[in-house]
Structure 1
Amino acid sequence: MKNHFLEDQSLILIVDDEPFIRAQLRLSLQCEGYRTVEAQDGREALTVFKQLKPDIVLLDAIMPDMDGFECCTRLQELDNSKYTPVLMITGLEDQESVDRAFEVGAIDYVTKPIHWAVLRQRVRRLIQQSHLQQKLEAANRELQRLVTIDELTQVANRRRFEEYCSQEWQCMAREQLPLSLILCDVDFFKAYNDTYGHRAGDRCLQLVAKAIQDSAKRPADLVARYGGEEFAVILPRTDAEGAVHIATTICESVRGLLIPHYGSQISDYVTLSAGVATAVPQPNSDFQEIIDEADRALYQAKIAGRDRYQQYSKLSTSTAFFWKSEV
């Protein structure tokens, strides 16, 4: 009985300059339930591989023009070749040829004349291993995503925020470029929960998170739930003017959601306060500096009346801080 585990839909690329060998391989593998495609030399193999993305490549080692060793090397350089095993078919059994096959990226090899039972078992095993590896890596990526994403709002969580802030702080210190940080807080959120209940509060946070996410659109920007009703936006390579623009957009976007908030003391709708800080990190400095500055700016935004942003800056005055406010 044929084993149809995984292989029924698998596509095998057969690369050999001898038509008779290709026909033998094709018939043998099709009898096992595989789909096959053929190439008569290394250059054609590269073209077919790019077009069809096979699950495995059976590659003859000795071919004119581009031999199997060079072809295998070129295959490894293609973006979509990561999960595609190469099984070398060779009439060479010397140690040097075997070592070279593995050096250029082949996963296994069989020798000519082909032992068909051995070939079928190795093809099946390599395809299964490849598929299982893909599933494992996909599961690991999903696990990594889950441990860095806030379950309620689906933006980054506090752990991811701190990792990314540290990473970008060090990167900007090396490049001597600005990093901006916006800390946001939903105004009178406790009153919102008291008025509408926690389920409505959760929905409110989801909508606010999406509005913030939509306002920070560059791939390098990170939106995170900092804690409770607080959110943070990391803006690498962004100067103060750019950060203020994003903060203004965020406040306007949340205001524009028109989420009723009759427990608010300043508006009939949900609003947001934001603190903005910008710095060019110095070598060996701590990213906690910019967090503290943004937090102070956020506090001043609340003192100034909420539903606004405050920009932090240092001045040599007795108060040590100057705050810019816009409603």
Structure 2
Amino acid sequence: MINFPILVVDDNPIIKKMMNISLTKAGYEVSSAENGRDALRKFDKKFYPIVITDWMMPEMDGLELCRAIRNLSLDSYVFIILLTAKDAKDDIIKGLEAGADDYLTKPVNHPELMARLNTGIRILELERSLKKANNEIMILSITDYLTGCYNRGYIGENLSKEIRRAERYKHPLSLVICDIDHFKNVNDTCGHLAGDHVLYRFAGLINKSIRIHVDWLARYGGEEFMIVLPETDMKGAITLCEKLRSIIENSVFTYNETNIKITSSFGFTSFDLVESCNDKIVDEIINRADTYLYQAKQEGRNCVRGGPF
């Protein structure tokens, strides 16, 4: 089965049936509609990347359907072939200007139809590959290359959004900044590759312990990481930070048969409501969590310190 469903739109039941049989034999998944309005109703329920439509139809003709499809907010492109008995240059131009990508004159020649569909599929496959490449580039742009968690750029784009969401729905939010205690000693004693391995494992342990698609982790810089906890009050933040601190303390990081033990410090701040979100508020929230992290380090490391914003 070819992975590009086709919607055939024609008010002539004989032509429509013959088209369905021909396309199904060629390996396509085929649906049909009586006219343009019926086609749009079917689009509401399912996306069709290829539309083959007659020109002359009651209620909504092929040109109107082409324009309507082009005005839809769709995530992917629709390749439209217009069927017509009209072959004058002016008519062809009208069809293309309405949004059709190609046209076929009736009666439809099967080999020509298959050739036109193959052209459309090449265009649709190119679009898919470009979207995939763009998505991969987007993911790389917000991902820390070493740890696989989000990076500083993602923080800049999304932390303010989380704060605004908490403000809008009057939900609590907590922000945690943590880092690895005496991380320089790991690099100096075991080498930078071992240090990279520890950072990777450290981020992995945190990611496994936070809520998927709700909380998120980002590398803030060096051995410092930020954890954003939507819908989490101060009590919840303390519980999570203590859990993470214990997990890190009791884990063994093995690199090239060398066992490495580390501890970590956590600073957090929580709030139930902010009056308004702006760059100054975002910076103040980060600074508050960072101040509590500094306090944790001053009071012996391997501990959690925090408070309300």
Q: Residue 216 of structure 2 contacts residue 227 of structure 2 at CA under 8 Å; is this kept in 1?
A: yes
Deviation at 1:193, TM superposition (A): 1.6
Shift in alpha-carbon separation, 1:293–1:49, aligned structure 2, 3 A: closer
Shift in alpha-carbon separation, 1:39–1:158, aligned structure 2, 3 A: closer
What are the within-5 Å matches in structure 2 for residues 162-311 of structure 1? 162-259=156-253, 269-279=261-271, 280-285=273-278, 286=280, 287-311=282-306
Residue in 1 aligned with 2:106? 113
SS in structure 2 of the partner of residue 182 of structure 1: strand
CA distance in 2 between counterparts of 1:163 and 1:45 reads: 37
Deviation at 1:185, TM superposition (A): 0.6
Q: TM-score, normalised by structure 2?
A: 0.75
SS in structure 2 of the partner of residue 89 of structure 1: strand
Give a deviation string over 1:81-118, Cα, whole Å, max 9, x none.
7344333435589999x989987xx6436365256487
CA distance in 2 between counterparts of 1:50 and 1:44 reads: 10
Alignment gaps of 5+ in structure 2: none
Deviation at 1:152, TM superposition (A): 0.6
Deviation at 1:61, TM superposition (A): 5.3
SS in structure 1 of the partner of residue 300 of structure 2: coil
Q: Residue 146 of structure 2 contacts residue 200 of structure 2 at CA under 8 Å; is this kept in 1?
A: yes
Q: TM-score, normalised by structure 1?
A: 0.72
Root mean square deviation, CA, Å: 4.2
Percentage identity across paired residues of the two chains: 29
Alignment gaps of 5+ in structure 1: 1-7, 262-267, 315-327
Shift in alpha-carbon separation, 1:283–1:39, aligned structure 2, 3 A: closer
Deviation at 1:293, TM superposition (A): 0.5
Q: Residue 72 of structure 1 contacts residue 86 of structure 1 at CA under 8 Å; is this kept in 2?
A: no
Runs (4+) of structure 1 exceeding 6 A deviation are 43-51, 63-79, 92-96, 98-103
Q: Residue 7 of structure 2 contacts residue 48 of structure 2 at CA under 8 Å; is this kept in 1?
A: no
Deviation at 1:62, TM superposition (A): 5.7
Shift in alpha-carbon separation, 1:58–1:173, aligned structure 2, 3 A: same
CA distance in 1 between counterparts of 2:138 and 2:57 reads: 44
Residue in 1 aligned with 2:307? 312
CA distance in 2 between counterparts of 1:179 and 1:99 reads: 56
